[in-house]
Chain A
Amino acid sequence: MSDTKSARPACRSMLYMPGNNPSMLQHVVAFGADSVLLDLEDAVSEREKDAARCLVRHFVKDVDFGKIIVTVRVNGADTPYFERDLKEIIPSRPAAVRVPKCHSPEDVTLADRLISEIERANDIPLGSVKIHAMIETAHGIEHAYDIAVSSPRLEALTLGGQDLTADLGVQKTRGGVEFLYARGRIVMAAKAAGLAAFDTVWTDLNDMEGLKNEATLAVQIGFTGKAAIHPSQVDIIHEAYRPDRKELRRAFRIVYAAEAAEREGKGVIAVDGRMVDGPIVTRAFNLINLARLYGIEKEDDLA
């Protein structure tokens, strides 16, 4: 298979870990998540904020995470911790910071400005640390697209379900009917802006069936990944993202055809007698990238 760099690396799962819990953090690479979300916000009590920030800063800087994408959820701009979090975390160069409570584009541009200053001050190439904007209010949902296009530093929109239920004044249901609109809106805005979209967490650790259903829904709607609050959730989320064999076979054929077309200098690609255009080829590349995470490297592995 030729170069598939053009497609985004698959990030199906983002595992939250409390930033103040060294005994958990040290095991982070063991749980098989594509990405880890070191949390300085809700998982950390007020009195532990400084300790967590310090721990995460060193941890991100010094530990070998292998292939795992490292992100840090900082405290919101409405807290006294926001600027210090950025100031101390950005120099450790996580892949991204997750900025909570993005109500409007200004929340993102503020973070962008601060991060740029810190990057400049620390000789870090501008734009190295991405932003994942967490949308968790009705206002934020309604401004999802404006938020999505507010900064080139943005890499993803993420849904914050727990705060959103509070803002909406509704209860979390097992089927998630209360989030149907919010999920659709976030996925649409993210995709329209060329960003990734991450679904909220499933909070009931004893209900793995519920998690499975919700993860399947997230995949069907178009979320590129889903957050997990416990390592035991990671495998279930990954299973939901496992590519359909039939679809994958077709993706291999599309990619082979695309490669052949490129070699032969043809502009038009046909697979199974039908014309295939650019977005479909990109999707095929994405699907094959995803399949690699399940140990499928080539069409023969599907046998």
Chain B
Amino acid sequence: MKMIKNSLGRLVPDEIPGVGKFEPYVSPFAYLDRKLTSPAKSAYPIHPQPPRRDKVTSDIRQAIERSGLEDGMTISFHHHLRGGDAVIPLILRALSDMGFKGLTLAPSSLPDSHDFVADYMRSGLVTRLFSSGARGEVGRAISNGEIEIPVVLRSHGGRARAIEQGDISIDVAFLGAPACDKWGNMTGSAGRSACGSMGYAQLDARHARHVIAVTDNLMDYPLRPRISIPQYLVDQVLLADSIGDPAKIATGAVKISRNPVDLKTARNAFDLLDASGLMVNGCSFQVGAGGASLAVAAYVKDYMKENKIKGSFGLGGMSGYMVEMLEEGYFEAMLDVQSFDKSVTDSMTRNPNHIEIDASCYANPFNKGCVAHNLDMVILAALDIDTDFNVNVQTGHDGVLRGAIGGHPDTAAGAKLAVIVAPSFRGGVPTIKERVMTVCTPGETVDAFVTERGICINPRREDLRRRARDAGLPVKDIRELKAEVEALTGVPDDPEVDESRVVAVVENRDGTLLDSVYKVV
């Protein structure tokens, strides 16, 4: 494995044996110069079927055998069922029992709770992993160097690109379906395991060679009033006792943080949005559901109310709070690739302006125009950030994989204003590093880093810095804030890693490599 330095000064491999060749990262939109015009390599296969073919089975072995799955092939799952997902364990156990080996696991992401996947990686059932992230036991197993072939970590938009370009070639997609009819029409908006949008699954259904809907809720044909994935993309319908634990699929409405540090951070971030001049009629906005992020949405809502502003669309992972903003008329529409909480799951059935979009539509940089590229403002979290504004959302302070990239780099690259929010230190460890352990979102796409102690603006955005200064906001140089925090916390040592052993790579949205993740010592 030859290591080359990319434009960020990070060493990345030029090839991963068993996966393929890679180019080093150059710049956020360097791909535009490459003038790619080739047709998509992946499209759903031609597969003529006789009329009224029975698609339904409750025999999992039979379904797998019929799919034509063989050792070494690629399987995919979606992560819409989050921590409640019972599809991945069900299928992996069956595959293991049937003696499969050397599979590539390519889910849209892995839920927090899926520690068991590590065992299947150790046993040799799964030898390659492509994911948005790796956490818990899976993250530890990878970071400890227990998995031979380095894992490829991609953003949601990057995965969509990889699928459409053929970098990920899905042989069999096992798609958990909260509601499904006997010919395979599916939706996530109904059923006891309802999860809302099936945006990530839609993409897999379109491109996998064989699609199996896995459902515990066989509905009367035709599924109505809403179909997220249509029957013509679905080969089989597998009946399971349960596809998930509803309590862990759709958690209660995410509440706005009352943590004063989060609130102060959110206030600063909101003030920056205000100063940016982007909060006007027709604006668009994406915000996560965690900590300070949702609190920013609350300030935005108050502002829109007071100033009688109506936004165009809200995007992304959809929380109840954003749906509330739609229902109360602060936005014309919500474009939803993934729903976060219970209050969201049936909103799409009730409200035609709550629109389900697939992962490619959300963030794929290589299609004819993704929504992330239409975005005005995005508020994103971070584990840490460096003085070049590179953001890490993947490796913890111990160097171990513990996060997921999600749509972070996609929306940062696409939005007019990408604001990273995080406390200035956590558990005594400062958030601003000289050099982040793992670059997931390049600093060139980040406009500002906001904490409870002030606002750091990327020197690339002198215009924004001027606006923030003029508005009297607490603007600080990122090195100045770093020093301020370090006066309180000291400077922690970087975790020790073995740089001769790459355990994972972080792929940029365009397929080039941003960084390598190394084995921890």
Q: Which residues of A are at the interface with B, using a C-beta cutoff of 8 A?
A: 24, 26-27, 29-32, 63-64, 230-232, 235, 295
Contact A231:B263 (CB < 8 A) given known A63-B488, A64-B487? yes
Beyond A230-B260, A232-B263, A235-B267, 20 extra complex contacts between A and B, CB < 8 Å: A24-B260, A26-B488, A27-B260, A27-B261, A27-B264, A27-B452, A29-B453, A30-B261, A30-B264, A30-B424, A30-B451, A30-B452, A31-B260, A31-B264, A31-B452, A32-B264, A64-B487, A231-B260, A231-B263, A231-B264
Size range of the interface on B? 10 to 19
Q: Which A residue sits closest to B485, measured CB to CB?
A: A26
User: How far is A27 from B264 in the complex, measured between Cα atoms in Å?
Assistant: 10
A30 to B265, CA, bound (A): 9
Nearest CB on B from A143, distance (A): 37
Query: Do B472 and A295 touch across chains, with their CB atoms under 8 A apart?
Result: yes
Complex CA–CA separation, A232 to B267 (angstroms): 10
Residues of B within 8 Å of A32, CB to CB, are: 264
Task: Return the CB mask of B248-278 against A: 1 if under 8 Å, else 0.
Answer: 0000000000001101100100000000000
A32 to B454, CA, bound (A): 11
Quote the shortest CB–CB distance from B240 to chain A (angstroms).
45
Q: State which of B453, B472, B487 has its C-beta within 8 Å of the C-beta of A30.
A: B453
Q: What separation, in Å, do the CA atoms of A286 and B472 have in the docked complex? A: 21
CA distance A26 to B112 in the complex (A): 31
Which residues from chain A contact B424 at a C-beta distance below 8 Å?
30
In the complex, A29→B485 CA distance in Å?
11
* Cα separation A230 to B258 with both chains bound (whole Å): 10
B443-476 contacts to A (CB < 8 Å):
451-453, 472
Chain A nearest CB from B23 CB (Å) reads 42
Give the chain A neighbours of B451 by CB distance below 8 A: 30
A-B pairs with the 7 shortest C-beta distances?
A231-B260, A30-B452, A295-B472, A30-B453, A27-B261, A30-B264, A31-B264
- A234 smallest CB distance to B (angstroms): 9
Residues of A with C-beta under 8 A to B263: 231-232
Q: Is the CB of A232 within 8 A of B487?
A: no
Interface flags for B482-510 (1: CB within 8 Å of A; 0: not) read 00000110000000000000000000000
Contact B488 A232 (CB under 8 A): no
Tell me, in angstroms, the Cα distance from A284 to B452 when the chains sit together.
33
Could you list 26 A-B pairs, sorted by A, with CB under 8 Å? A24-B260, A26-B425, A26-B488, A27-B260, A27-B261, A27-B264, A27-B452, A29-B453, A30-B261, A30-B264, A30-B424, A30-B451, A30-B452, A30-B453, A31-B260, A31-B452, A32-B264, A63-B488, A64-B487, A230-B260, A231-B260, A231-B263, A231-B264, A232-B260, A235-B267, A295-B472
User: Which among A30, A31, A32 has the highest number of chain B CB atoms within 10 Å?
Assistant: A30
Considering the complex, give the chain B residue whose CB is closest to the CB of A205: B258
Assembly CA distance A230 to B264 (angstroms):
12
Most buried by B among A24, A64, A231, A235: A231
CB of B443 to closest CB in A, whole Å: 24
**Bound: A232/B487 CA distance, A:** 26
- Of all chain A residues, which has the CB nearest B260? A231
Interface 1/0s, chain B 304-345, versus A by CB < 8 A?
A: 000000000000000000000000000000000000000000
How far, in Å, is A90 (CB) from chain B's closest CB?
24
- Residues of chain B with a CB closer than 8 A to A31's CB: 260, 264, 452
Enumerate B271-296 residues with CB–CB distance to A below 8 Å.
none
Residues of B within 8 A of A26 (CB): 425, 488
Taking the closest CB of chain A, its distance from the CB of B73, in whole angstroms, is: 50
In the complex, the chain B residue whose C-beta lies closest to that of A17 is B260
Task: Please measure, in the bound complex, the distance between the C-alpha atom of A24 and the C-alpha atom of B260, giving whole angstroms.
Answer: 9
Q: Smallest CB–CB gap between A266 and chain B, Å?
A: 36
Nearest CB on B from A207, distance (A)? 14
Identity of the chain B residue whose Cβ is nearest the Cβ of A295 in the assembled complex: B472
Task: Tell me which residues across on chain A come within 8 A of B488, comparing CB atoms.
Answer: 26, 63
On chain A, the residues within 8 Å of B453 by CB distance are 29-30
A64 CB contacts on chain B under 8 angstroms: 487
Residues of B409-454 contacting chain A, CB below 8 A? 424-425, 451-453
A58, B451: Cα distance in complex, Å: 25
CA distance A31 to B451 in the complex (A): 11
Closest to B267 in A: A235
Q: B379 CB to closest chain A CB, in angstroms?
A: 18
By a CB distance below 8 angstroms, the chain A residues around B261 are 27, 30
Instruction: Give the nearest-CB partner of B451 in chain A.
Output: A30
Looking at the assembled complex, report how far the CB atom of A86 sits from the nearest CB atom of chain B, in whole angstroms.
27
CB distance from B57 to the nearest CB of A (A): 54
With both beta carbons as reference points, the residue of chain B lying nearest to A22 in the complex is identified as B428
Considering only CB atoms, which chain A residue lies closest to B453 in the complex? A30
Residues of B within 8 A of A27 (CB): 260-261, 264, 452
- Bound CA–CA A302/B336 (angstroms): 44
What's the minimum C-beta distance from B305 to chain A, rounded to whole angstroms?
A: 15
Closest to A296 in B: B472
**What is the CB-to-nearest-CB distance from A299 to chain B, in angstroms, rounded to a whole number?**
17
Please name all residues of chain B whose beta carbon is closer than 8 Å to the beta carbon of A235 when the two chains form the complex. 267
Interface bits B501-521 vs A (CB < 8 Å: 1, else 0): 000000000000000000000
Residue of B264, B425, B453 with highest tally of chain A CB at under 10 A? B264
Contact with A along B188-202 (1 / 0, CB 8 A): 000000000000000
Closest Cβ of chain A to B430, distance in Å, is: 12
Which residue, of A27, A31, A231, has the highest number of chain B Cβ atoms within 10 A? A27
A231 to B261 alpha-carbon distance, docked (Å): 9
Taken together as a complex, chains A and B put the C-alpha atoms of A14 and B453 apart, in Å, by 18
Find chain A residues with CB under 8 A from B472 CB: 295
Residue of B260, B261, B263, B267 contacting most chain A CB atoms (<10 Å): B260
Please report the C-alpha to C-alpha distance between residue A64 and residue B267 in the assembled complex, in whole angstroms. Answer: 23
